[in-house]
């Protein structure tokens, strides 16, 4: 049975004495910054399911047309100029109040760092759109350079070093997550006392399974998402109210509880 909450001021008993927090964030936390999600009612793939194919590595490698569509999409993507919203800022503030906090994000937009979260405490599980990588020689360069080439008329930019195919330094379907990053995320999930899953459909593995790992290790799971997720039944709290209001309120209440605990009540 779903444990729904409107965070109407009730005591966060699951936050008592907590000093180690993991925050798993998905596309839903960035929609208030003007970046559309993928699977929501108005998501990119919901409106145009065919676009999902250009996010598959086998298609990206083999189909020039898919690459051209990809670069057209990202050359004018809202994420380049997006600013952090209230939820990003609330998490950055919470980190300053609860020292043992890590953010595990599925997002590639860099808005957590832009909001003030400590970069080394943000694990970008699906990579970053701020760099491009050559699929052949693995050379990385700033995305701005490649986007400038696209805007200048190159429809399918290639590596200037070896001529290989360029892609954003993000994880496409069919690619493995960086093993070091994933191993660190698993360690964080297994050692946290509370995991907050915010704005994620929790449908993409292996990232979603971090919730199960945390719960199996004894952590409390709190899900903040508009729609049901496969992990709601494991959660001690499920919050459906808008992320832009829920996360700042949750963070403020959490910080108060943490200060009280550190002060001995």
Q: Which residues are catalytic?
A: 126
* Cβ-contact 240, 4 below 8 angstroms: yes
Separation between Cα atoms, residue 9 and residue 61, nearest integer Å = 51
Q: Is the dihedral of CA 191, 195, 200, 202 positive or negative?
A: positive
SS3 139: coil
Give every CB contact of residue 147 below 8 A, 6+ residues apart in sequence. Answer: 74, 75, 80
In 50-158, where do the E strands start and end?
100-105, 122-124, 127-134, 140-142
Structure tokens at 65: 């047309």
Structure tokens at 20: 């180690």
Distances (CA, A) of 72 to 51, 155, 178, 256: 12, 8, 26, 46
């Amino acid at each position: 049975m779903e444990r729904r909450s409107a965070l109407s001021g009730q005591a966060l008993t699951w936050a008592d004495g907590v000093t180690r927090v993991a925050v798993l964030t998905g596309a839903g936390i960035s929609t208030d910054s003007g970046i559309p999600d993928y699977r929501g009612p108005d998501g990119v793939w919901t409106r145009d399911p065919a676009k999902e194919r250009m996010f598959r590595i086998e298609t990206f490698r083999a189909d020039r047309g898919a690459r051209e569509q990809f670069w057209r999409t990202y050359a004018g993507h809202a994420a380049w100029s997006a600013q952090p919203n209230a939820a990003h800022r609330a998490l950055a503030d919470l980190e300053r109040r609860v020292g043992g906090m890590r953010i595990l994000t599925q997002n590639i937009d860099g808005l957590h760092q832009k909001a003030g979260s400590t970069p080394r405490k943000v694990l970008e599980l699906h990579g970053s759109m701020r760099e491009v990588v050559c699929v052949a020689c693995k050379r990385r360069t700033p995305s701005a350079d490649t986007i400038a080439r696209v805007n200048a008329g190159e429809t399918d930019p290639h590596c200037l070093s070896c001529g290989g195919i360029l892609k954003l330094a993000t994880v496409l379907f069919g690619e493995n997550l960086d093993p070091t990053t994933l191993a660190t995320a698993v360690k964080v999930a297994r050692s946290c006392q509370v995991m907050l899953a915010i704005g994620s459909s929790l449908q993409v593995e292996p990232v979603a399974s971090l919730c199960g790992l945390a719960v199996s290790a004894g952590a409390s799971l709190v899900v903040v998402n508009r729609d049901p997720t496969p992990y709601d039944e494991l959660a001690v709290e499920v919050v459906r109210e808008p992320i832009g209001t829920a996360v700042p309120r949750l963070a403020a209440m959490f910080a108060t509880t943490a200060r009280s605990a550190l002060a001995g009540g």
